[in-house]
Structure 1
Amino acid sequence: MLANIQPLDRVFLELGPITIYWYGVIIGTGVLLGLFLAMRESERRGLPKETFVDLVLLAVPIAILCARAYYVIFQWDYYSKHLAEIPQIWQGGLAIHGGLIGAIITTVVFAKIRGLSFWKLADIAAPSIILGQAIGRWGNFMNQEAHGGPVTREFLENLRLPEFIINQMYINGEYYHPTFLYESLWNVTGFFLLLLLRKINLRRGELFLSYIIWYSIGRFFIEGMRTDSLMLTDTLRMAQFISIVLIIAAIGIWIFRRTKGLAKERYLD
């Protein structure tokens, strides 16, 4: 019976020589939905409707390049021998932390050129980013990657998972932890938490910092379950290290901005 379990088709559509993969479709869906939400919120905050369209057109390509570069750098032993595979992002291998770095730098420059507050843009974008990450993890699901260690089928059934998820977690003769799902659910929870925090009227920048803290806490623990992590040392995963740095940095920036009077404006001002 197990031998008959077939993974879901990674290909969404084939148009002659052009192959469109589910991985790209899912990530693209996350980007578009996030953009739609950010556009609605930016209008409510008094920004021109096209502000986030212009930002996304710059930030998304740069974020993808940075996400791939980050992954390739830490897997250079492999990619140095397989240079032709470096552009093949449809196979997976986009590091979210690399993408975040690229997106943040792009937004800082964009805000400076447009004469806008980086923190205002970041607060508006925070729920969109974490929702996009939640959706994007299903691209990993289709590629059967970003999973945890081996488990039994009974374990997965006890989680009350639908059959298609259980079957997709059957890889090379074993079942695995669906860590993609754990992180997706954590991010969806974070999305609704950020929507609630909007009503509290935090000081400017603190909604974005809340996103950084929430995402990093979940990523630290879920990353510890994965089997395909980029490793910093024999025991510490790179994503765990970055998560710790981000949590400390976000809390430090939060305190610094308040004590120095740099966070007088509030999100809803």
Structure 2
Amino acid sequence: MFLTINPIAFHLGNLSVKWYGVIMAVAIVLATWMSISEGKKRQIESDDFIDLLLWAVPLGYVGARIYYVIFEWGYYSQHPNQIIAIWNGGIAIYGGLIAGLIVLLVFCYKRMLPPFLMLDVISPGIMAAQILGRWGNFINQEAHGGPTTLHFLESLHLPEFIIQQMKINGVYYQPTFLYESLFNLIGLIIILSLRHKKHFFKQGEVFMSYLMWYSVVRFFVEGLRTDSLYIFGVIRVSQLLSLILFIGVLFLFIYRRVKVKPKWYLDGSGLKYPYTRD
């Protein structure tokens, strides 16, 4: 018989360290390592990724919180003291991605780096971090789907520990964390297997492929979740944003191929590595 997983991994004195935080820390390290490894092949210095990380991660969390608060303003306008209480939960990944993108664009401008190439290099790492991060939701028993049955979960041939963790207050729920994690893993494998093929991706297209894949996955997974943010009480924010994102990125993909004709991804930054700046 399996018991539900304790969300607290260990204690440091009076401080409780949760599995969610441990998983997110590992996810960030993995994403950074993947970015640095690929960046060396594309003539980008390791220090650029470390410096970007120091800005993008904290500001990404701020963006994720602001996004969540905006769409839950009915609650937070009545409880303003809870706006900064991120330790009580309430972040949205799309808000983090938007904030992270803004940080990257400013960073690339300051460092004179090609932004599309930087996005290409880091996006597989971001995808890997998302895949791991969903397991933090699993341990916290959050971001799940609607009620289901034990028979349905067993029909998916899931490990017993997942089935038991999906039993919350006596009710079994859809493991939407798992759906998103697995389908993003498939997307990551596809992107990693294609990005080094000669004359396949133009600069910017690894990133755009990630966005299109994730928007499709999130659109369908969001329709199963019970904790969605809504507009006008009927439209799921993440589904609407996923739809807009997919259409917009697809248009940009085609436009750049036809009109802009950017460099190939494998051409790298065009700078000799290692390089220095004035």
- Counterpart residue number, 2:276: none
Question: 2:13 matched to 1:16?
Answer: yes
1:24–1:90 Cα contact (<8 Å) kept: no
**Structure 1: distance between partners of 2:15 and 2:82:** 17
- Counterpart residue number, 1:182: 179
1:49 deviation in Å?
1.6
1:39 deviation in Å?
0.4
- Counterpart residue number, 1:224: 223
Instruction: Give the letter for the 2:266 counterpart.
Output: L
- Percent identical: 47
1:92–1:143 Cα contact (<8 Å) kept: no
Matches within 5 A, 1:257-268: 257-261=256-260, 263-268=261-266
Q: TM-score, normalised by structure 1?
A: 0.94
**Structure 1: distance between partners of 2:223 and 2:194:** 28
Q: Secondary structure at the match of 1:14?
A: strand
**Structure 1: distance between partners of 2:78 and 2:18:** 25
After superposition, the C-alpha distances for 1:123-174 in whole angstroms (9 at most, x for unaligned) are 0011101110010001111111110010011111111111111111111221
1:123–1:208 Cα contact (<8 Å) kept: yes
Q: Flag the structure with more relative contact order, 1 or 2, with Cα contacts below 8 A and sequence separation at least 6.
A: 2
- Counterpart residue number, 2:143: 146
**Structure 2: distance between partners of 1:203 and 1:82:** 48
Corresponding residue to 1:171 among 149, 153, 168: 168
Q: 1:88 to 1:160 in 2, by over 3 A?
A: farther
1:169–1:175 Cα contact (<8 Å) kept: yes
Q: Secondary structure at the match of 1:13?
A: strand
1:231–1:237 Cα contact (<8 Å) kept: yes
Q: Secondary structure at the match of 1:142?
A: helix
Give unpaired runs (5+ residues) of structure 2.
Answer: 268-278
Q: Secondary structure at the match of 1:245?
A: helix
Q: 1:99 to 1:42 in 2, by over 3 A?
A: same
Alpha-carbon RMSD across the aligned residues, in angstroms, is 1.5
After superposition, the C-alpha distances for 1:153-203 in whole angstroms (9 at most, x for unaligned) are 111111111111111111122100000000000111111111022023311
**Structure 2: distance between partners of 1:100 and 1:176:** 27
Q: Secondary structure at the match of 1:19?
A: strand
Q: TM-score, normalised by structure 2?
A: 0.91
Matches within 5 A, 1:80-229: 80-200=77-197, 201-229=200-228
Instruction: Give the letter for the 1:79 counterpart.
Output: Y
Q: Secondary structure at the match of 1:259?
A: helix
Which runs of structure 1 show a deviation greater than 6 angstroms over 4 or more consecutive aligned residues? none
Instruction: Give the letter for the 1:264 counterpart.
Output: P
Give unpaired runs (5+ residues) of structure 1.
Answer: none
**Structure 2: distance between partners of 1:197 and 1:62:** 31
1:6 deviation in Å?
4.8
1:13 deviation in Å?
1.8
1:69 deviation in Å?
1.1
1:197–1:207 Cα contact (<8 Å) kept: no
**Structure 2: distance between partners of 1:6 and 1:76:** 36
Instruction: Give the letter for the 2:186 counterpart.
Output: T
How many residue pairs get aligned? The number is 265
**Structure 1: distance between partners of 2:237 and 2:230:** 5
